[in-house]
Amino acid sequence: MEGKADNQPSVVKLVAAFEEHCRDSTSAQRDKQAGRQPQQLPAFPASQSHSLTRKEEEEDQQGQRGLSFKCLRSLRCKIREDNWRRPQGPGLEPGSQEPEEKKIALELLETEQAYVSRLHLLDQIFYTELMKEAKTGKTVPEEVVKMIFSNISSIYQFHAEFFLPELQKRMEDWNHNPRIGDVIQKLAPFLKMYGEYVKNFDKAVELITAWSEKSPPFQELIADIQKRKVCANLTLQHHMLEPVQRIPRYELLLKDYVRKLPPQSPDRGDAEKALEMIFMVAKHSNAAIAEMERLQNLWVVYQRLGLEDDIVDPSNELIKEGPIQKISTRNNSTSEKYLFLFNNMLLYCVPKVIQVGAEFQVHLRMDVGGMKVRELKDAEFPHTFLVSGKQRTLELQARSEEEMNDWIKAFQDAIDRKEKRSETFKTAVHGLETDTPALKTEELGRRAPQWVRDNLVTMCMRCREPFNAITRRHHCRACGYVVCARCSDYKAELQYDGNRPNRVCQECFIFLTGHTVLEDREGKHKGILEKGAAEVSSRSLLCSSLQLLDKNGKGGTRGWFVIPQDDPLVLYIYAAPQDVRAHTSIPLLGYQVRDMPQSESRHLFQLVQSRQVFTFVADTEELKQRWMKAMARSAAGITHPEEEEDADEAE
């Protein structure tokens, strides 16, 4: 097996056989040692305290639940510091001319001896004495003790009976055989047993905390052992952290060893191979830590949601969470919500006023499969984006552009990952920002539509009847249009709502059911003003919101102004961006465009022809200049930009 540890099945069999041997021999070994005097362990050197702060130690002694993850998250940083490394072994005199690689090999041996002493403390003292008390039935069940210490007996026996003796033997024969790579390479596969211990670590710390509260004798026994000199004033939890840290320390020492080896050293090949094997073991251990932390974070989220049975699933992965503002299509306002985005679903939650048992209440659950997300351009609500799912469509507002982009990226990442796992995902439809939010016909009724906001429409989007106190607004549940009661007096089953009958407009009713209606509006020709604002805006030279002042210049109406590409000499005025009919049109040919001085922070300009004067107010100076330029082109009869360039060249 020396130098050839790549055969995975054989490695697995060796590890399994070794652990079985450990289990069989553990009880006999403990019985044998029971008659001996307690072994005195050397006191921990100051450099072995893992640079933990006094505050952390006090928190650990209080049994706080957050200990394990705080230690594990900082583990990589702590191990990469050099304060745990001994600057020089006690066997080397100052100014010694020993080769650098031998100094590192001696350091590995010395730290291994100290490590075996700590494993002895965990297995032969803590575990043995706690198990002895557990058998009396006065402290905790035996199974709890076994779960706390996991496979520590196998780890201890491996290092005490195999790894440490092999290192000692090799260092004694260093002058004749100066190498350790082959020893580490031979024994490295057995280090994979650390994966089980690392996975169990957080659960073990929780069990210690929980049973210390439940069982005073259990707590007293642990406290009594911790007072002994061999514990060096450190808690059981700190000693249990030692095996978690050991593999990364092997990796750092071996890296340093390989770096110090002479180019022609006979140990270079074995040492580099051993380093590669240790790296894979460390990677396996780190993956176990990451998975443990993921499950712990998931459990915390479940507790905040009230532990709903159908939400708790270990296969779920939390991608992003945070507060968000939900835009209401009814009253054009926002309300605070909270989102939990998982790899397979979105939980749309409301913070609970009285937080008893749960922090949030789940209002809606949306599948990531088939979900779409895109940014919305909205002057009234900046940093807005749309999340469209099979169950519902949400217009959400972030606090900043950066936060909005983070959410969109998180949603898109979740969608892409879902797409890779299944072939049912379809490419999202990214329409122009002024497009009417309509679904593809093949999606009608299969997914929740984006509702058009009430304030964006002043008339029915089907029959063009103006809305007023009598003619009320209604939403078609299939396409999302705002329609009147007469146009939405139909019911159709919608697949996204469990095939329940929902209120739909006439056009959607015909498409979804195949039924015909008595009133047939087909063949009705559109008048000059009957061009939909959204349709015209998507193919416009310029469109935006402006205010048109009355004749005395004191008041006026605000509307949506459009110069279409296919009718570039006419200005259309709509009451709202989604209206299907303009209420006014102004032929621009022959008008003069006049700039007006800024008055009371208002950006004014005029269209003048003979005695006809129209005064406009733009929101910004930049928008005003754009409108003046566009209107001047149309007034001069220039319908394409290249015509303007030709006119400039002629001048």
Beta sheet of 584-587, edge-to-edge order: 584-587, 570-574, 556-564, 540-549, 612-618, 603-609, 592-595
The rounded distance, in Å, linking the Cα atoms of 447 and 427 is 14
Q: Do 102 and 242 fall into the same domain?
A: yes
**Quick one: pLDDT at residue 533?**
65
Residue 353 in any domain: the answer is yes
Residue 111 in any domain: the answer is yes
Residue 148 CA, distance from chain mean position? 31
CATH number at residue 13: 1.20.900.10
Most confident of 64-68, 71-75, 241-245: 241-245
Are 494 and 477 in contact, with CB atoms under 8 Å apart? yes
Q: What is the mean pLDDT of residues 107-114?
A: 94
Of residues 286 and 451, more confidently modeled:
451
Q: Which residues pair with 496 in a beta bridge?
A: none
Q: Do 447 and 417 fall into the same domain?
A: no
Concatenating the DSSP letter of every residue in 31-70 gives HHHHTSPPPPPPPPPGGGSTT--HHHHHHHHTT-TTHHHH
Q: Do 219 and 337 fall into the same domain?
A: no
Of residues 399 and 506, more confidently modeled:
399
Q: Do 409 and 376 fall into the same domain?
A: yes
> CA neighbours within 13 Å on the CB side: how many for 250?
29
Q: Do 589 and 550 fall into the same domain?
A: yes
Give me the residue label for tokens 């082959």. Answer: 182
Q: What is the mean pLDDT of residues 268-291?
A: 82
Instruction: Look at phi and psi of residue 390 and say left if phi exceeds 0, alpha if psi is from -120 to 50, else beta.
Output: alpha
Q: Do 232 and 94 fall into the same domain?
A: yes
Residue 401 in any domain: the answer is yes
Q: What is the mean pLDDT of residues 474-495?
A: 87
CATH number at residue 494: 3.30.40.10
What are the backbone dihedrals phi and psi of residue 112, each rounded to the nearest 5 degrees, phi first?
A: -70, -40
Residue 290 in any domain: the answer is no
Identify which of 326, 328, 327, 332 has the alpha carbon closest to the alpha carbon of residue 576: 332
Are 389 and 400 in contact, with CB atoms under 8 Å apart? no
Q: Do 448 and 416 fall into the same domain?
A: no
Q: Do 105 and 199 fall into the same domain?
A: yes
Of 386, 421, 456, which marks where a domain is finished?
421
Q: Does residue 650 have a pLDDT over 50?
A: no
Q: Does residue 581 have a pLDDT over 50?
A: yes
Helices H / strands E in the chain, number of each = 19, 18
Residue 3 in any domain: the answer is no
Out of 15-24, 167-176, 468-477, 528-537, least confident range: 15-24
**Quick one: pLDDT at residue 389?**
83
Identify which of 437, 435, 418 has the alpha carbon closest to the alpha carbon of residue 426: 418
Give the whole-number percent of the chain exceeding pLDDT 70. 73
Residue 122 in any domain: the answer is yes
Of residues 84 and 500, more confidently modeled:
500
Element (H, E) at 281: helix 268-304
Q: Do 446 and 417 fall into the same domain?
A: no
Of 513, 544, 577, which marks where a domain is finished?
513
What are the backbone dihedrals phi and psi of residue 326, each rounded to the nearest 5 degrees, phi first?
A: -95, 125
For CA atoms 472, 473, 478, 479, give the dihedral sign: positive
pLDDT bin (cut points 50, 70, 90) of residue 337 is very high
pLDDT bin (cut points 50, 70, 90) of residue 575 is confident
The rounded distance, in Å, linking the Cα atoms of 543 and 261 is 72
**Quick one: pLDDT at residue 452?**
83
Are 332 and 400 in contact, with CB atoms under 8 Å apart? no
Cα 99-256-83 angle, rounded to 5 deg: 105
Give me the residue label for tokens 């998250």. Answer: 73
Q: What is the mean pLDDT of residues 18-35?
A: 50
CATH number at residue 633: 2.30.29.30
State both tokens at 432. Answer: 């122009």
Q: Does residue 161 have a pLDDT over 90?
A: yes
**Quick one: pLDDT at residue 247?**
87
What are the backbone dihedrals phi and psi of residue 383, each rounded to the nearest 5 degrees, phi first?
A: 60, 45
The rounded distance, in Å, linking the Cα atoms of 104 and 83 is 15
CA distances from 229 to 61, 124, 312, 593 (A): 17, 15, 45, 93
pLDDT bin (cut points 50, 70, 90) of residue 397 is very high
CB under 8 A, 24+ apart: contacts of 560-565: 560/533, 561/616, 561/627, 562/533, 562/536, 562/537, 563/588, 563/630, 563/631, 563/634, 564/531, 564/536, 564/539, 564/540, 565/539, 565/540, 565/541
Q: Does residue 37 have a pLDDT over 70?
A: no
Q: In 10 A of CB 526, how many CB atoms? A: 11
CA distances from 214 to 238, 347, 562 (A): 21, 36, 74
**Quick one: pLDDT at residue 290?**
73
Q: Does residue 88 have a pLDDT over 50?
A: no
**Angle, helices 268-304/194-214, rounded to nearest 10 degrees:** 40
pLDDT bin (cut points 50, 70, 90) of residue 35 is very low
Residue 41 in any domain: the answer is no
Q: What is the mean pLDDT of residues 55-84?
A: 44
The rounded distance, in Å, linking the Cα atoms of 189 and 284 is 12
Of residues 172 and 642, more confidently modeled:
172
Identify which of 166, 171, 500, 474 has the alpha carbon closest to the alpha carbon of residue 329: 474
Number of domain units in the chain? 4
What's the whole-model pTM score?
A: 0.44
Q: Do 13 and 75 fall into the same domain?
A: yes
Q: Which domain holds residue 179?
A: 8-20+53-262+272-282
Q: Does residue 13 have a pLDDT over 60?
A: no
Are 364 and 343 in contact, with CB atoms under 8 Å apart? no
Residue 559 in any domain: the answer is yes
* pLDDT tens figures, 544-574: 889 888 877 767 788 889 998 878 888 888 8
Q: What is the mean pLDDT of residues 361-378?
A: 87
Q: Do 189 and 126 fall into the same domain?
A: yes
Q: What is the mean pLDDT of residues 80-107?
A: 64
What are the backbone dihedrals phi and psi of residue 211, each rounded to the nearest 5 degrees, phi first?
A: -80, -20
pLDDT bin (cut points 50, 70, 90) of residue 587 is confident
Most confident of 6-15, 338-347, 451-460: 338-347
Q: Do 495 and 538 fall into the same domain?
A: no
